[in-house]
Amino acid sequence: MIFDLTVTPGEVATSLIILMMVLILVRGLGNKSRKQVSPPGPWPLPIIGNLLQLGEHPYLTFMEMRKKYGDVFLLRLGMVPVVVVNGMETVKQVLLKDGEHFAGRPNMHTFSFLAEGKSLSFSVNYGESWKLHKKIASNALRTFSKAEAKSSTCSCLLEEHVTEEVSELVKVFVELTSKNGSFDPRNAITCAVANVVCALCFGKRYDHSDEEFLKVVKTNDDLLKASSVANPADFIPCFRYLPLKIINAPREFYQALNRFIALHVQDHLTTYDKDHMRDITDALINTCHNKYAATKTATLNDNEIISTVSDLFGAGFETVSTCLYWSFLYLIHYPEIQATIQEEIDRNIGLKPPTFEDRKSLPYTEAFINEVFRYASFLPFTIPHCTTADTILNGYFIPRKTCTFINMYQVNHDETIWDHPNLFRPERFLNENRELNKSVVEKVLIFGMGIRKCLGEDVARNEIFIFLTTVLQQLKLQKHPRAELDLTPTYGLTMKPRPYQLQAELRSSSSSSA
C-alpha cells in the first residue's frame, strides 16, 4: 500500500491555525480553571455568612476549621469574603515571600475613625506614600528609643522614662497591698505604661490620679472592649446605620483619643523649636518641616503627623500593658518560675537598676517573656490584611481586595512546632547550655512579620524587660490566699486576663538595701 505524504501549503496553514486555536483554548481553560479554584470553607448563610459560627474565641474556631479545610480556607463574614491563613510556612508565604501582594488593609468601619482614617497601621492604601510615612515614623521612634540620654545610668531616653515609671509602680504596689491587703494590678500597670508613651510622645507624664489622663486610659480600654474581629458593621454595611453600642462605640472612643492626641500635637506645632528636640512629636515635626522639605521630597502634613503619633501611642501602650498584666498573673500562678527569675536577677545584676543591656545576661527572664507572648498570644490575629493584586496561595486563587486574617494564635500553639504547646514552659526557649535559643524565639508570632510588622517590637521588648526585672528585683508577688486564678482570657481586639488579685511585699534584700 502506498501513502501520499505530500502536504499542500493550504493544509499546513490550516493545521497551524487549528494548533494555535487549541493552544489558546487550553491556556484559557487552564487560566479559567485556576481562577475557579477557590479555597475550601464552610457553607455560609445568606447575609450573615459564617458570623454565627465564630463563637467567643474565633482563633480557636479557625484552628478547628483548619483540621477540615487546611491552612488556607475561605468563609464569609456577613457580605465579605475572608481568607483565613494558618500554619507557619503559609504565614511566611503571605507576610514575607508574597508580602507585597498581601500588604493592603481592608476598608473596615471599626478602624476608619482612628486618626480620621489616616492611620499608618490601618491605612487602606499601600504604596510609596505609605512607605515614606513608615520610614519617617521609624526614624522618629528610633531617635528617642536609642538616642544618648543625659543620665549617666541610662543609655537612652526610653530607658530613662521606663526606669522612672517602674520605680513609681513598685511604690504603688506596696502601698496598695498595705492599704487593701490585695489588689488588681491592671489600673496601676496601665497608668505606668501609658505614662512611658506620653513621655516619649509628648515629653510629659501624668499623676495616676489625673482626671484627664485617667479618661484617656479608660477611653483606650473601652475601645478595645468594643472592638473585635467580628464587628457586624465591618462585614454587613447596613449595620453601620443602626443605633447599636457595638456599632457606634468605636467612633466615640476613637474620636476622644484623637482629640487628646491632636491637642498635644497642635501644642507642639505652636511651640516647636528646631534646636530643642523634646520628644517623638518634635522629631516628626523636625523631619517633616526640615529634612524632607529641603530636598523637596513628599512628606507628611500636620494631620498625618497627628495620625503617626496616634499610631505610636496605641502601639506602645496596649501591647506592653497587656503583656505585663498577663506576666504578673503567670508569676503568681507559677511561683517557682518567679523564684527562678529572681535568682537569675540576684546572681547576674544584684541590686543595681536593670538596663536594656542586661537582657543579654538574663536568658531565663527573656525566655519567660517569650513564653508569655507565645502562650497567651494576646494578639491572636494580625491587623487584617488585604490583597493588592490577584494572587495564588497554596494553589488557590485569591482575588484582589480580599480580606485576609492571619491566625498567629494557631502558629504559637502548633503541635508541629511546639512540644506540648498547651503547657507554660519558659525552658523551651533555652538550649542545653541554658542560653537563649534565638532560632526558637523567631518562631513566636506576636508582632507580625514582613512589610506590616509592628514598628515598636524592640521598644516593647525592652520596656517589658525593665518593668519585669525591676518589679521582681524588689518585690515578691503572690496571689490572694483564698483566691482562685482563672487563666481563661476575655476576647476583644486584644485578649486580657480576667480580673485577679495579687499581693506585693518587699523582698528582704530590697528592704535591707533601702
Q: Is residue 478 within a helix (H) or strand (E), and if so which, with residue range?
A: strand 475-479
248 near 255, Cβ under 8 Å?
no
Enumerate residues 6+ apart whose C-beta is below 8 A from 364.
Answer: 340, 341, 344, 426, 430, 434
Cβ of 132: how many Cβ atoms within 10 Å? Answer: 16
Residue type, 46: P
CA dist list (Å): 165 to 5, 132, 315, 363, 392 = 94, 33, 18, 24, 48
Sign of CA dihedral 155, 159, 161, 165: negative
Residue type, 38: S
Q: How far apart are CA 174 and CA 362, in angstroms?
A: 25
Q: How far apart are CA 444 and CA 439, in angstroms?
A: 10
> Could you give the residue ranges of the DSSP H alpha helices within 272-395?
280-286, 292-294, 302-333, 335-348, 363-376
Cβ of 208: how many Cβ atoms within 10 Å? Answer: 18
Backbone phi, then psi, for 81, in 5-degree steps? -75, 130
503 near 477, Cβ under 8 Å?
yes
Nearest CA to 338 among 246, 509, 465, 476?
476
Q: How far apart are CA 407 and CA 374, in angstroms?
A: 13
Q: Is 454 annotated as a binding residue?
A: yes
Residue with cell 481586639: 493
Cβ of 363: how many Cβ atoms within 10 Å? Answer: 20
First to last CA, the chain: 114
The binding site for heme comprises 454
Binding site listing? 454
